Amino acid sequence: MKKLWSKRCQSLTPYVPGEQPRREKLIKLNTNENPYPPSPAVIEAIRTAAADLRLYPDPTCEEVRTALAQSLGVKPNQVFVGNGSDEVLSLAFCAFFDPDKPIRFADITYSFYPVFADFYGLRYEEIPLDETFTLPVEPFLEPDYGVVLANPNAPTGREMNFCDLRNIVEADPNRVVIVDEAYVDFGARSAVELVNEFPNLLVVQTLSKSRALAGLRVGFAIGNENLIAALNTVKDSFNSYPVDRLAQAGAVAAIRDREYFRLTVGKVRTTRSCTELALHDMGFTVCDSAANFLFVSHKKLSAQKLLDELRQRGILVRWWDKPRIRDYLRITIGTEEEMKALCEAMKEIIGGTTDTE
């Protein structure tokens, strides 16, 4: 099976992405995609860019960096752009962490972090969240540890206390703290405002979620010029052209259309609140969420049973068979109509069983 594989390749345990089904007419609430299309300006920009694909794209993504810098209140040389935030995170693990010093992240968080660490031969420690899925601050204040924080966290959706986050960054100026803000636009306070104060802070964001560009693959990092230079060094040691011309054109248009961004994010947040209330009324435990998803459990039925029952009704959600969270489902916020269908299905499932799994 693994004949001709290198020993390193044989030892890897890759990340498992959420299911991307071929079947039509499913309500897809399992991969945290935006339920609304991208800005019409994005489609027009891509159409224009597609007229000439002879030339390589700009390896520096200058227009994207300039648009992001203007939007976020930083300088263009404080912005790095990559092929989705996963690539940016991977390059950051390589650029800022060494095998002789472990890194720390939560035990319940984005499951790509240990994959990145293993790929680069890095030691890591998983710090347990408390019973409410809140991050304990003290272990992250200790010096000599690299730090990776998802804020809001995934899959729980919880937002970190901003003072706690600041204290972690401030605790040791000689180590890099990476704050992964893939879902920040849906209600959390961004750490971007701290990058000019702390040269050891790198904030990573994406256009996949709040700008509805998951299919275009554009992520970015904001930080001190020194950190950005390190990311460029690593990037240019792998691939100098990771972001194609269409993606760059679409990204610039999405960043500039602030009105459309506010409109669609507002819709998601409103639908999230309504869905949370409806699930509460059905007896669900729902974690506080600042993301575009909810993390829920029900005492009457196991999460796996709910997962299977929903799938039979054409609704996909996400479940992990892992300690501490196997009783929870992560449900992406869809359109208002999709979430009404989810809630109706949940009522039917819960009301039609005496099961106590």
Name the 3-class secondary structure at 130: coil
Distance CA 309, CA 344 (A): 12
Distance CA 246, CA 312 (A): 38
Over range 301-321, report the average pLDDT.
96
Residue 146: pLDDT band with limits 50, 70, 90: very high
57 in Cβ contact with 241 (< 8 Å): yes
Report the predicted TM-score, pTM, of the whole model to 2 decimal places.
0.94
| Residue tagged 């999460």 (tokens) | 303
74 in Cβ contact with 195 (< 8 Å): yes
Neighbour count for residue 264 (Cβ, 10 Å): 20
Identify the sign of the CA torsion 48, 44, 47, 31: positive
Neighbour count for residue 54 (Cβ, 10 Å): 5
Tell me what pLDDT residue 356 has: 41
230 in Cβ contact with 204 (< 8 Å): no
Over range 131-146, report the average pLDDT.
95
Distance CA 317, CA 15 (A): 18
Query: 87-101, pLDDT tens digit by residue?
Result: 999 999 999 999 999
Q: What amino acid is encoded at 332 in this protein?
A: T
DSSP characters for 271-302? HHHHHHHHHHHTTEEE---SSSEEEEEESSS-
Question: Which of 15-29, 49-63, 244-258, 341-355 has the lowest average pLDDT?
Answer: 15-29
Give, in degrees to the nearest 5, the angle at Cα 15 between 12 and 20.
140
Tell me what pLDDT residue 274 has: 98
Reply yes or no: is the peptide bond before residue 37 cis, omega within 30 of 0: no
Residue 354: pLDDT band with limits 50, 70, 90: very low
Q: Which of 221, 229, 232, 209 has its CA nearest to residue 89? A: 221
Distance of CA 324 to the CA centre of its chain: 21
Distance CA 96, CA 122 (A): 11
pLDDT above 70: residue 357: no
Query: 199-238, pLDDT tens digit by residue?
Result: 999 999 999 999 999 999 999 999 999 999 999 999 999 9
Tell me what pLDDT residue 5 has: 86
Distance CA 234, CA 145 (A): 21
Over range 336-341, report the average pLDDT.
97
76 in Cβ contact with 63 (< 8 Å): no
Strands 146-150 and 177-180: parallel
Strands 146-150 and 103-106: parallel
Distance CA 249, CA 132 (A): 42
Over range 178-200, report the average pLDDT.
98
Query: 14-62, pLDDT tens digit by residue?
Result: 877 777 776 668 999 999 999 999 999 999 999 999 998 999 999 999 9
Residue 8: pLDDT band with limits 50, 70, 90: confident
Identify the sign of the CA torsion 140, 179, 177, 111: positive
